[in-house]
Structure 1
Amino acid sequence: MPDTKNVLFIIIDQLRADCLNGALAAHVELPNLRAFMDEAVTFDRHYSVTNPCGPSRASILTGQYAMNHRSVRNGTPLRHDTPNLATEMRKAGYLPMLFGYTDTSADPRAHDHNDPILKSYERPMAGFEEVLEMRLEESYPWRAYLMEKGYAFDDYWDVHKPVSPEGKKPRLNDPALYRADDSDTAFLTDVFLKSMAPRVGEGWFAHLTYIRPHPPLVAPAPYNAMYDPTTLPRPAGSTDPADELAMHPFFGPAIDNSTIGDFVLGFDAVEPTVENIQTLRAVYLGLATEVDHHIGRVIQFLKDSGQYEDTLVVITADHGEMLGDRHSWGKMTVYDAAYQTPLMIRMPGNKTRAGSVVSEPTESVDITPTILDWIGQSIPNAMDGRSLLPLLHGQPPEDWRTYTFSELDFAEPEQPTLWQQELGTGNSDSCLGILRDDRFTLVEFAADLPPMLFDHSKDGELQNVAEVPEYLTDLTRLSRQMLRHRMRNMDHTLSLDSITAEGPKSKSRY
């Protein structure tokens, strides 16, 4: 193992796993990510343990399930004393540099009521050194850069609207007002490369987070028109939304909560026509290709500067995206497309495993323990995830998990959500759990709602078989498994500590 250990942790916001392996993979150019896969280990059953952005990143960076950190919505505070990747890296002597955002809401108990930190859910997580602020709703450095370059806009959100090159009424896939060299993705990468150039040989940790292909869906030329919408596969599921609505009461509010019109700015109404859906899917893929291009620049920098063999490189996404599948957009649902994410890890000294694929189920809470394990830092018992180092070496532990677990909270205390209004649920029972094993997916609700069960050996997510009598045994078994999982993973922050006559003692969780 090299004496100098660098860590580069990249999160791509809202990138579907099937862009690299699945339904969309053959339709999107991601040459740099694919080249990286040939040098790394890929985890093809990797899932976010919660959605949306803020909660998913809270779980990734704390290694905790949402049921333990409880920052379950964008804007829900994260406890100030929760150990996370940055606080633990500091204990190992690293300065945790953040290029981008963590979407963390601060604990109001630790700040004065008037502190501006309590007026934005997009604050950096405790312990990070924010080198560059690139939050979607703020992005002041990038705004200043655009203004300096001479771009004119009356309102910041105008930057996120398509603009007709001919001065006509804009179309959904018209380009952004800025050039590709000046995009948010390019700007973030430029700053990262300039900032890291003087740090060669220091031993560093950097968290680089790309907002794209997260909406608003607008891309600079040529990425806006890189893909022909007519050649892309149609969204998964029935053509009739009524079929989706009939599957479970959850899906009515889910479809209405996030619509195609929410994914692009500057239009009075965007109808879910085949043409519009395919057009925005094409823009999404163009944005993914743009991110791929700039990740290629980052990887090349590591190679050119002689740091590639000293650097653990982790590339993943915070969650997925429905992209019109099942008549849904966004990630506030129960389907795999919203939770399954790519995960690729290149570990120095692991060339014999280059290009290999791990099919054991892994979760987003495993990433932070993996990074800490690699640098030799102890993993706090508060973290629910497990180090992936044994899997990277091709030696999965005998007691490795056989399923993945995810959660979703669909409440809003300040203004009841569509689910709360239509289902009659409250703030504490507007939540669900998802358990996936080799064959089944179980969705269970805290409220008095029927469960969902998908059999992937048959029709999968196209049919809810929870009420089919022949599946009763499986439904019961999986329900017990979910209960046991929650019981085994209750908060372990101090549960393995003991106060004794000789002083405090502690046992390691794993």
Structure 2
Amino acid sequence: MSVEQPNILLLMTDQQRWDTLGCYGNNTVETVNLDALASEGTVFEHAYTPSPSCVPTRASLMTGMDPWHTGVLGMGGGQGPMETGFAHTLPGELARAGYHTQGVGKMHFYPQRALNGFHNTILDESGRIEDPNFVSDYKSWFDQHKTGAYDFVDHGIHWNSWMARPYHAPEFLHPTNWTVNESISFIKRRDPRKPFFLKTSFARPHSPYDAPPFYFDLYQNKEIPMPVVGSWASMHDQPVDAASPVAWRGIRKPEEIRRARAGYYGLIHHIDHQIGRLLDCLRREGVYHNTMIVFLSDHGDMLGDHHLWRKTYAYEGSSHIPMIIKMPAVFGKGKARISEPVTVQDVMPTILNTVGVDTPHSVDGKSMVPLIVGNGTDWRSYVHGEHNTCYSEEQEMQYVTDGSTKYIWFPRLDTEQLFDLNVDPGECHDLSNEPGAQLELQRWRDRLIAELVPRGAGLTDGKRLLSQAGKPFLVSPHYKARVSGESALQ
């Protein structure tokens, strides 16, 4: 393969909402470098996660498959980790095509040192220790370079907490800086005879909301949008749940919410500055123009919207993600903004299509290249997402949306919601019980039924959605087949 073959930089943040970039209309958080990247590429206005938590979405990113086919439907009951055994992965296909492939940061694989097609990974797995004696590369580096008798978690905030405070150690020790440092090191030390694929995967702005003091203080002193709370959201005003330092729902004091959002925005601003360093490195190395750059997050963060925190929900704060793609210079700029609904599974075929590598038959996603270059006339009408039971059985959900309307079904409650996102982007007014919305409700319910019928998993009889109250957790047969080796899932 020629060195003129485009390079690929995949930038991934963890738990970043779609509405936290200037190019998506946020006038509070400063994201100059990502906004500049967006001005050179394409902004996908309606990008959604197929399953709004870390492991299932990352499995879909790596394979281009829907959660049902990866076998990972969430992070709750009946689900296992992202085991190995995938016949085709994005880095694996690129490695076979002659790319030098490297993963830096959060991979969330199991076993944790599994490569899943990469030639090499350098890991920051936050606090996860899932293999005996596992120590992340970031933790080892932190311990070697810290300036005192402290640990990387001595700020006292849990990895899934709503609490926030400034970073407790010098800024150069922050995992965001480390992730970019290691990415720059790879760019400088890569095999110069090969094109490269680099996945730079940040562990933030996922909690802990521990932005370095400069960034934390900046947003503490700014006006920050406060949560939206729907007329239906009182169901999540649960004092017992709210009492936990890792609460997934409940009403918090305004100063606690403000502090959380200041830390979260500060983390995004910090990431943007560090991404700027990495992009400058590409320019100095003379490879920026010939590099395809994809930026996205795995899912969002509710940040108190509707009295909810963290992720796994179908609501916009959790399921709607940012996505920006800058094509290699030979393709030209492409369309500036795209409104068609896209999802994480589309990233793998888009990258393979761009660099001229065949897309495996196992891939469920579609190449977005036709949309980018303006030939995307045959595109899907909506996307489908799901998450199994996690924080509570009542939050197990299935959803379908086109970015303008969203339908949500809660299988264990057997209830549904319908939102008009054009007039109600905060999803504050549920239309499902309004007489004038019943035809629209049925239309979207039928779309979900059509998605679920082929599974034969007891979620529908083809005409109705069937309550899952009291039934065993939903488990995809593809998971057992893959990890047992019974099927290569070709």
> How does the TM-score come out when normalised to structure 2?
0.82
Instruction: Name the residue aligned to 2:434.
Output: 468
* TM superposition shift of 1:72: 2.4
Q: Does 1:406 align with 2:373?
A: no
Q: Does 1:245 align with 2:230?
A: no
Q: 1:48 to 1:418 in 2, by over 3 A?
A: closer
Encode CA deviations 1:221-245: one digit per residue, 9 max, x unaligned: 212212135611111125xxx8513
Encode CA deviations 1:180-213: one digit per residue, 9 max, x unaligned: 2221111121122122213345311111101111
Q: 1:381 aligns with which of 352, 358, 361?
A: 361
Encode CA deviations 1:255-281: one digit per residue, 9 max, x unaligned: 9778883289xxxxx981101110110
Q: 1:263 to 1:19 in 2, by over 3 A?
A: farther
Is the Cα contact below 8 Å between 2:106 and 2:201 reproduced in 1? Answer: yes
Give 3-state SS (helix, strand or coil) of 1:226's partner: helix
Q: Does 1:183 align with 2:174?
A: yes
Q: 1:145 aligns with which of 114, 138, 141?
A: 141
Instruction: Name the residue aligned to 1:71.
Output: 72
- Whole-Å Cα distance in 1 between the matches of residues 453 and 99 of structure 2? 34
Is the Cα contact below 8 Å between 2:99 and 2:194 reproduced in 1? Answer: no
Instruction: Name the residue aligned to 1:437.
Output: 402
Counterpart of 2:203, as a letter, is: I
Counterpart of 2:108, as a letter, is: D
Q: 1:288 aligns with which of 250, 255, 268?
A: 268
Q: Does 1:131 align with 2:105?
A: no
Instruction: Name the residue aligned to 2:209.
Output: 217
* TM superposition shift of 1:286: 0.6
Alignment of 1:188-203 (within 5 A): 188-199=179-190, 200=192, 202-203=194-195
Instruction: Name the residue aligned to 1:43.
Output: 44
Is the Cα contact below 8 Å between 2:22 and 2:35 reproduced in 1? Answer: no
- Whole-Å Cα distance in 2 between the matches of residues 432 and 82 of structure 1? 28
Q: 2:89 aligns with which of 84, 91, 96?
A: 84
- Whole-Å Cα distance in 2 between the matches of residues 344 and 60 of structure 1? 15
- Whole-Å Cα distance in 1 between the matches of residues 51 and 240 of structure 2? 20
Which of these two proteins has the greater Rg computed from alpha carbons?
1
Instruction: Name the residue aligned to 1:205.
Output: 197
The share of aligned pairs that are identical, in percent, is 25
* TM superposition shift of 1:376: 1.4
* TM superposition shift of 1:65: 1.4
- Whole-Å Cα distance in 1 between the matches of residues 107 and 396 of structure 2? 23
* TM superposition shift of 1:101: 2.5
Is the Cα contact below 8 Å between 1:160 and 1:216 reproduced in 2? Answer: no
Q: Does 1:101 align with 2:106?
A: yes
Give 3-state SS (helix, strand or coil) of 1:433's partner: strand
Structure 1: segments with no counterpart, 5+ residues: 106-116, 163-171, 265-269, 412-416, 424-429, 494-508
Instruction: Name the residue aligned to 1:319.
Output: 299
Q: 1:213 to 1:349 in 2, by over 3 A?
A: same
Alignment of 1:298-309 (within 5 A): 298-309=278-289
* TM superposition shift of 1:478: 1.2
Encode CA deviations 1:311-369: one digit per residue, 9 max, x unaligned: 11111111111111111111122201111111111111367536711111111110011
Q: In terms of mean alpha carbon deviation, does 445-454 or 122-131 score higher?
A: 122-131
> How does the TM-score come out when normalised to structure 1?
0.79
Q: Does 1:362 align with 2:353?
A: no
Encode CA deviations 1:123-169: one digit per residue, 9 max, x unaligned: 5452123331111115633333333334345655215659xxxxxxx
Aligned residue-pair number: 442
Counterpart of 1:289, as a letter, is: H
Q: 1:338 to 1:438 in 2, by over 3 A?
A: closer
Give 3-state SS (helix, strand or coil) of 1:368's partner: helix
- Whole-Å Cα distance in 2 between the matches of residues 70 and 327 of structure 1? 30
Is the Cα contact below 8 Å between 1:321 and 1:329 reproduced in 2? Answer: yes
RMSD: 3.1
